[in-house]
Structure formats: C-alpha cells, structure tokens
Amino acid sequence: MVKGTTDQYLGITAIQFNACQYFYDITAINLDWLEAIGYSMDMSKLYPVRVVTEGFEELNDNIFFGEGNFTFEEMNDMLRKFTENDPDGNGIDDTYGMMYILPNSSTTMTQEGLFGFAYDVNYLYKDKVTGDTVPYYAYTPYKDYLQWVSENLQKGYMKKLPGEQAWNLEYQQISRTNKMGILQCHRDGYLRPTTWGYGELPPTNILLNTDPDARFVMGPMFRGPEGVATDATYGIDPFGEGLYRCHMVGVQVSDEKLIRLLTLLQYTSFESEYTHLRYNYGIEGIHWRWEGEPYKSVRIQTPDEELPEEYRNQGELHVFSTWAYFSTADFETYNAVENGWWSAPAYMYAYNLYEKYALNPDKYLSSPYMGPDLYQKYVEMNAEYTQTINPIVNDFRNRALNGQISDFNTEWAHYIEQLYAAGLQKMVDEIFNNPDFINYDPGDKFKLRGRP
C-alpha cells in the first residue's frame, strides 16, 4: 500500500504483447472451389503452411496463406456461386457460401470487421450520421451489416447454426462436412491438431476427417462495402488495464525480501530470452527442444505424458516469472522467411498486415482513457440502462436475422430513436461524447516487433 493512502497499491503489472498483438481469427476460402467458380489467386504469392506437430506433415500441401484483396462485390458473387454453381462438382445442390455466426472473436475478420466494428461492446465508434460516439449496436454500419446478413440468409447463401448447443460445437460439426466455401478460422490451430481440440476446427477437421486433398487459402480475403477490412486484437491493452495479472506484494514483506523477490523476477522475466524460456516453458532438452537453430526456429514441446515423472509440472512453471511477454513478430517472421515455418500470424507479421488490418476504435471504455470517476459513472449508468437498451437491441437483431425487416433505413431510424429514448442519449451526452473521455490511440503496439 502506498504510504499515506488507504486505497492505493504498488504492484507489478502484466505486459502482454502476445495478447495485444494476438488476432484470434483468420478467414479461409476453399481454394479448389474458388477456382471452380472462376476466380484464382496468384499461387506464386501464396505460402504453404508448415505444421509444427510431428506426424501431420501431409497437411503442408493443403493450407496456404495470402492476401485476397477481393472486393465486397466479389465476395457476394462468391457467396452466390458457392451456393448455386455446384463448386464441389458432385452434381448435388449441397453447398453454400458461409455460416453466419453471432459476432465473437472468431468472426471479426470474415463478417463484421468488413463493416469496421467488432463484437466487443467496449469499442466505441464515431457515427457519421449522428456525429455521436456510440457502441456498435447504434453505429450506422451495423445496419448495413445486418441488412447484408439478412439478405444472404434469405437467399440461402449464408446459413445459421441450429442454436441448440454451444455455437462452437455446432460450427465444428457443420464445418467438418466441407459444404461451405468461406470459413471463419482460428489463427493457427491447424499447426497443432493434437492440442486443445484444435483438430476439430476448420479447416483441419475437414482435412483429417472428410477430404484430405482439399486446399484452403487463409488470410485477410475480403473488403466490405466501403472498402473496409479489419480484425480485432484479442487484448487491446498490453497492460491488461492493470485489472488482472498484477503481482501484489503484501505490506508484511520486508524491504530485504522485496529486493530478493524483485531480483528473482528480474532474472526470470527480463534478463534474457534464455531465462524467459527457462522459467516460463521449462528446461531445454526436457520440456521442449529447438526444431532447428536455437532462438531462430520453433520450439517443439514435449507432451506431458512423455516427460519423466519429476518434470511433469508444466502448469507450475510460471511461479517465478511475471506475466511479461514481448512481441514475437521478428522471431516469427525470421522463422517463416528463413526456415519455412509459415502460419497465418507469421504471414501477417512478415508483411506488417496486423497493423494494416487492426481495428482501432475511436474510444475504448476503460478507466485509463476516462479516469476512475467517469468510468465509475459509466459502470453505474450502464447497469441501469442495459435493462432497457438490451431488449431493443436484441429485438432489432432477431427481426433482421429472421427476415422480418424489409425497409432497413426506416426501421433503423425508428430503432435509433428507441435506443436514445431508452437511455443511450444520456450515456452519449454524459459519457461517450464527453471530451474528458480521451480517444483511443494504438500507439506503437503494432510496430514493436521484439524484446525491448
């Protein structure tokens, strides 16, 4: 506790560039189908994946990385032709463009990011029509997005999940059948088909179960109606807003012990890449090994069951480290360019595409940008008005997805009136438009590429 205060503390916060440069999703297109409907990509500009997990090298011929630069019109043409033109050539009307998934971290690049917004309600945008700073649900491009989805659902170019189980379980089962041309994918789960259920995610689930010869191209593929193409970072603030993963030291710890503690943390977290790896990932040659040249190639992790009994403690390796993780951009780029370890993140890093495609909101609802008092006021107002705003938001979205809105412009104007009357006006005036709430600035978070 800071001397002379009752509510202020000193601690060591997280620095997590792995989270703030982490874009969860990537778009994939079935490359064979793309060619079947008359499109193509310059294969000389695509990079084939190199799967990290031993025994899955056959996947290296099936997944490629590239930048699509397809226009919104071309995307819509593909959605139609993937549905109507029998792209798999089996003579059966059994394929469609893509699955529509309620916005979440897996959908941004492929769906709502094309309209310049993401699922995160803490992101705020300056609306060109009202001039107000608002959450996505009151942002005019959200209307265009819902109209786009609604029309594609009506035509059958997009399909909805059944909605009986968790969305990700349903999506895993349906995507495995290989009936859709455009897929919302995990950034690099295909590298590790045996880890964390990644083998159940598309396109790996298709390649392992349904069609081992299918080919997919992954990357930023499409642009939206205004030429926009964005993806949202998983953790917008490398310091976690100081809210979590903050190491606290009790007042009963003597200065002598604190010095010892900080010395240990300095050594294990900041001294060198060697000590960082040693105290976060274990002992080289036991817990992991370099695939090639040390510090320049990927690390191959030893499965827990193959470790000698006394070393099976990988979950506890973080005891003497801070949550300090630096950018791996230079490492991944080198590893791909020099050693061929291509993945979607490596491709994005190598061509500086994360910075190019990062979705930067105009404002971000978080205490550091607002000050604690304004943030507290927001928390209280939000708790009060959520109850009146949410039903309006849900009703409009459900009617759009169910094809019950024919005139989006008229109904949107009415919807916005309802939202503002339900408390949004007050939140816009007192919080969102408030000049004390400073604009979000990504700073150098997408420019930093290694350890400081």
For Ca ion, the binding residues (CB under 5 A) are 86, 88, 90, 92, 94-95
In the complex, the smallest distance separating the C-beta of residue 17 from Ca ion, rounded to whole angstroms, is 44
Question: Which strands make up the sheet holding 133-134, listed edge to edge?
Answer: 133-134, 123-126, 363-364
> Measured between alpha carbons, how far is 65 from 68 in angstroms, rounded to an integer?
9
Structure tokens at 447: 């420019």
Contact 344, 219 (CB under 8 A): yes
Contact 333, 415 (CB under 8 A): no
Structure tokens at 356: 């190019």
- Closer to Ca ion by CB, 20 or 206: give it: 206
In the complex, the smallest distance separating the C-beta of residue 275 from Ca ion, rounded to whole angstroms, is 56
In the complex, the smallest distance separating the C-beta of residue 190 from Ca ion, rounded to whole angstroms, is 25
- Closer to Ca ion by CB, 50 or 81: give it: 81
Burial classification of residue 208, based on how many CB atoms lie within 10 Å of its CB (0-12 exposed, 13-18 middle, 19 or more buried): middle
- Give buried/exposed letters for 389-424 (b at 16+ CB in 10 A, else e): beebbeebbeebbeeebeebeebbeebbebbbebbb
- Closer to Ca ion by CB, 146 or 206: give it: 206
- Closer to Ca ion by CB, 42 or 213: give it: 213
Count other C-beta atoms under 10 Å from residue 355's C-beta: 17
Print the SS3 string covering 264-313: HHHHHHHCCHHHHHHHHHCCECCCEEECCCCCCCCEEECCHHHCCHHHCC
- Closer to Ca ion by CB, 88 or 120: give it: 88
In the complex, the smallest distance separating the C-beta of residue 28 from Ca ion, rounded to whole angstroms, is 19
- Closer to Ca ion by CB, 58 or 94: give it: 94
Contact 12, 322 (CB under 8 A): yes
DSSP single-letter state for residue 330: H
In the complex, the smallest distance separating the C-beta of residue 177 from Ca ion, rounded to whole angstroms, is 12
∠ CA 381-127-220, nearest 5°, is: 110
- Closer to Ca ion by CB, 90 or 252: give it: 90
Measured CA to CA in angstroms, residue 420 lies from 287, 389, 429 at distances of: 56, 9, 10
- Closer to Ca ion by CB, 29 or 124: give it: 29
- Closer to Ca ion by CB, 206 or 389: give it: 206
- Closer to Ca ion by CB, 40 or 90: give it: 90
Count other C-beta atoms under 10 Å from residue 182's C-beta: 25
In the complex, the smallest distance separating the C-beta of residue 166 from Ca ion, rounded to whole angstroms, is 28
Q: What is the residue-wise DSSP string for 14-64?
A: -EEHHHHT-B-EEEEEEHHHHHHTT----GGG-EE---SSTT-GGGGGTEE
- Closer to Ca ion by CB, 216 or 349: give it: 216
In the complex, the smallest distance separating the C-beta of residue 85 from Ca ion, rounded to whole angstroms, is 9
In the complex, the smallest distance separating the C-beta of residue 92 from Ca ion, rounded to whole angstroms, is 5
In the complex, the smallest distance separating the C-beta of residue 77 from Ca ion, rounded to whole angstroms, is 18
Amino acid (one-letter) located at 236: I
In the complex, the smallest distance separating the C-beta of residue 68 from Ca ion, rounded to whole angstroms, is 23
Helix ranges (DSSP H) in 156-230: 167-175, 204-209
| Cis amide linkage into residue 203, ω under 30° from 0 | yes
In the complex, the smallest distance separating the C-beta of residue 94 from Ca ion, rounded to whole angstroms, is 5
∠ CA 81-186-97, nearest 5°, is: 10
